[in-house]
Amino acid sequence: ADVAYLRSVLPSSTDDAFFDYLATLDASEVTVTAIPEGSVVFPRVPFLQVKGPLLVVQLLETTLLCLVNYASLVATNAARFRLLAGPDMKLMEMGLRRAQGPDGALSASRYSYIGGFDCTSNILAGKLYGIPVRGTIAHSFVMSFRGLEEARPRELLPRAGGDPVDLAGLAVSWLQRVCELLQTPPGKANQGELAAFVSYAATFPCDFQGLLDTYCVRRSGLPNFCAVALALHQLGYQAIGVRLDSGDLAQQSKEIRGVFRACGAHFQVPWFGTIPIAVSNDISEQSLEEFRREGSEIDMIGIGTNLVTCPLQPSLGCVYKLVEVNGSPCLKLTEDEEKMTIPGMKAIYRLYDTAGHPFMDLMALEEEPSPRAGQELGIRVLGQLEETTRVTPSTVEPLHRTYFRDGQVCEPLPSLPEVRTHAQVSLSLLSPAHRRLQEPQPYPV
């Protein structure tokens, strides 16, 4: 069917023998070597090499670049967020509504997880890839309730057993006590919001969380949440968190943490002061830098638009270039020096210093002898080719592995969690000078 379609769109003068030849193409003649998925790769280093008949390998160009470019871009963007957030902050990918279509959204969920995010709001990505899924209630859910009489269900069985308790009535009594403590009028707390919290808590008593900013955090969302959470506590349950989606997130998180601690101390509920606080709302790298600079009580960050659309660098310029034909090296000459290709089939090595940090990636022709640990090497750094530098690595790591040969996958493919772990280990091995996001020290190749 593919060959028939090509006949319909190519010039009618195309030789029939060409179409006969296309029907005989066989991918088993192709060999693919690559740097393992999840590895840190630097500019100009060939992370994937394809050998085989020229037409066959040329047909793979667009497919391979499509599969690699956006995936690498999102994983890199996610890794930058992870480095800024630090190892302890929980990061949730929530970019489905902003992504470039459903395929882009699924790719973003998968590759942001590899880059270091902890979970996704994309349930389909969770189903297909096993990524942990998380989410919170929506503003529309809170807004759909007009008064406490609409709360459904209202009753809840105590966790230790016994008769059902009117959770709505219990929450109202707790709201009076919370508002007294916070010195805020109970009448300012929105009753529809309280009904939404009660309905959610009665349905999911072990997973209750509140969205605090539908109306007013201080006067309504926060006291309503505390009232329902304390009512749940009285019945043996524990709330799992809150989310903020507007305003000065860092400052509000500190104020909310103060209220949680005050409630925990006043009502003698020790865990209350540690209720996790999640934030969202167009979070960017700049946002994370501000959180760190100002200090915050944020435990989890949901990032969407600035993660999946990569506004700081909307595309990644991976290229696929011919470097050898029938044993003869090929070189592309161009006015732009950076676009000149490096000829010949290459072996790639990563050189490590005595501290265990990689300090240089080395390209050599395949037929050249492999470098060895402790061996002094004469090398030329890209961009400084007129100078020979001498280096002595403490450890040498060959980067390329053969993944496909003779029509078969010949290297076990890692699971998604294994790739994610490998990515984080790869990043952690970089020296701080190379890993920093602002003005990093150039990594030589």
Weakest-pLDDT range from 195-204, 208-217, 301-310, 383-392: 383-392
Q: With respect to residue 86, please indicate whether it lies within any of the assigned structural domains.
A: yes
- Identify the DSSP state of 219: I
Measured between its terminal Cα atoms, the distance across the chain in Å is 45
| This prediction's pTM | 0.94
pLDDT in tens, 283-304: 999 999 999 999 999 999 999 9
Report which of 247, 275, 250, 243 is spatially closest to residue 262, judged by C-alpha positions: 275
Q: Residues 6 or more apart from 231 whose CB is under 8 A from it? A: 167, 170, 171, 173, 174, 201
Q: Is the pLDDT of residue 384 over 90?
A: no
Got the DSSP string for 220-233?
A: IIHHHHHHHHHHHH
pLDDT value of residue 141: 97
| Domain containing residue 290 | 77-309
Number of domains comprising the chain = 1
Q: Flag whether 360 is in a domain.
A: no
In tens, the pLDDT along 145-201 reads: 999 999 999 999 999 999 999 999 999 999 999 999 999 999 999 999 999 999 999
Q: What digits encode the pLDDT tens for the residues 396-439?
A: 999 999 999 999 999 999 999 999 999 999 999 999 999 999 99
CATH number for position 164:
3.20.20.70
d(Cα 401, Cα 268) in Å, to the nearest integer?
59
Does the residue 136 lie in any domain? yes
Domain for residue 103, yes or no? Answer: yes
Calpha distance 382→394 (Å, rounded): 22
Q: How much is the pLDDT for 118?
A: 98
Q: Residue 275: inside a domain, yes or no?
A: yes
Question: Is residue 188 situated within a structural domain?
Answer: yes
In a domain, 35, yes or no: no
Token code pair at residue 417? 């969690």
- CB count within 10 Å of CB 319 equals 11
Which uninterrupted H or E stretch holds 33?
A: strand 31-34
Gap between the Cα atoms of 37 and 47, Å rounded = 10
Q: Is residue 116 part of a domain?
A: yes
CB of 370 within 8 A of CB of 347? yes
